[in-house]
Amino acid sequence: MNDHTVKSYDEELTHLTSIIARMGGMAEAQLSSAVQALANRDDDLAQRVVAGDARVDELDQEVQSFAVRLLALRQPMAGDLRQIVGALNISGEIERIGDYAANLAKRCLILNHLPVTASVAGVVRLAELVRALVKDILDAYLERDLEKAIQVWGRDEEVDSMYNGVFHELIGQMTMDSGTITAATHLLFIAKNIERIGDHATNIAEALHFQILGTQPQGLRPKGDTLGVPE
């Protein structure tokens, strides 16, 4: 390739990264807003999160289309191929994070109008932990920071442990006061969605590791025993 072609190709790869950066920032903001809506019983904010999911989906489609175009026209090899394939995988993980944030917001809208509520404090703590992991892994992607990615990957067990604590806490509320059963059940689903967002953050860490080194992180992903409701 001549210098002009190389420069054009580099610009295209940079553009692909920038789309994912916008998408990741939007999904992170969606999650943060959904947690705020839960903590503050804010219907308006929850509705904005639900509406905003469409934009995350649009950016995912933009990544898919642009990456397929690059694969077809540039026929990349080695590191460039890993960068494009990794972008496809990471985009898919971010799109799922956005979906779970929207699901959280939808359940907020139900919770806010129940006659009897249950404590959301544990769920909010879990969400803040996971939100921090999402922020860290998106920063790691933009900075190509392998060490930070590995740190996120290694904290999946911490998320599972906190999720188990929240699960038992909510079961305890339901046992002590049957009037909280409906609200606590919705919170169990929310907690499970948040735990799954943590899984997607660690999936991004694995995809970034492969993108940079061409290998998966060594050893098994640290996992705690998870209990609770299905997705």
Residue 16 has pLDDT above 80, yes or no: yes
Q: What is the pLDDT of residue 116?
A: 79
Residue 76 CA to its chain's centroid (Å):
28
Average pLDDT over residues 25-53: 97
Give pTM, 2 decimals: 0.89
Residue 231 has pLDDT above 70, yes or no: no
Q: What is the spatial distance between Cα 61 and Cα 216, in angstroms, rounded to a whole number? A: 26
Average pLDDT, the chain: 90
Q: Is 164 exposed, middle or buried (0-12, 13-18, 19+ CB in 10 A)?
A: middle
Average pLDDT over residues 93-110: 97
Indicate the class that CATH gives domain 3-213.
mainly alpha
Residue 230 has pLDDT above 70, yes or no: no
Q: What is the pLDDT of residue 1?
A: 52
> Do 194 and 163 contact (CB within 8 A), yes or no?
yes
DSSP 181-215: HHHHHHHHHHHHHHHHHHHHHHHHHHHHHHHHHSS
Domain regions of the chain by residue span: 3-213
Nearest Cα neighbor of 38 from 117, 133, 135 is: 117
Residues 6+ apart with CB under 8 A from 105: 33, 34, 37, 45, 46, 47, 49, 50
Q: Quote the percentage of the chain above a pLDDT of 90.
A: 73
Residue 69 has pLDDT above 80, yes or no: yes
| Sole residue written with tokens 């959904």 | 34
Average pLDDT over residues 127-142: 96
Instruction: Determine which of 77-86, 120-129, 166-175, 176-185 has the lowest per-residue pLDDT on average.
Output: 77-86
Q: What is the pLDDT of residue 186?
A: 96
Q: What is the pLDDT of residue 4?
A: 46
Q: What is the pLDDT of residue 191?
A: 97
Q: What is the pLDDT of residue 13?
A: 87
